Amino acid sequence: MSDLTTTLDELRREIRQFVDARDWRQFHSPKNLSMALAIEAAELMEHFQWLEGSASRQLSEEQLAKVSEELADVFCYTLAMANELDIDLSVTMRAKMVKNMAKYPADEYRGRFGPQDPGE
């Protein structure tokens, strides 16, 4: 199973089954899930702390394995939050990308990040 063959719905169901089998929904308030998500994101960032940008792209197999696990934790909590709030991630992601494309037109932002005028 890979990204090419696994649907988002399958992953959401897998998370839902894992949580339900342990009776953890009682703990999965949006507040708790958002906090857990932030903590896992911080644990992911920890692997890159103090690395130069180029070094962060050249991880050893051991580093990549650790980063992959933290990223999976972030994704699991993201899916759990979507399940708890009944958010359709595909619809939400596509709507957000429409906003991003309007906010950051490719011809204006190609090769740079952020507003042209620092005062923006």
For the segment 32-60, what is each residue's pLDDT rounded down to a tens digit?
999 999 999 999 999 999 999 999 999 99
CATH number for the domain spanning 13: value is 1.10.287.1080
- Residue 115 domain flag: no
pTM: 0.88
For the segment 80-115, what is each residue's pLDDT rounded down to a tens digit?
999 999 999 999 999 999 999 999 999 999 988 776
Of 1 and 50, the structure prediction assigns the larger pLDDT to 50
pLDDT at 28: 97
Residues 22, 34: Cα–Cα separation, whole Å: 20
pLDDT at 76: 98
- Residue 3 domain flag: no
Owning domain of residue 56: 8-108
Number of domains the chain contains: 1
- Residue 118 domain flag: no
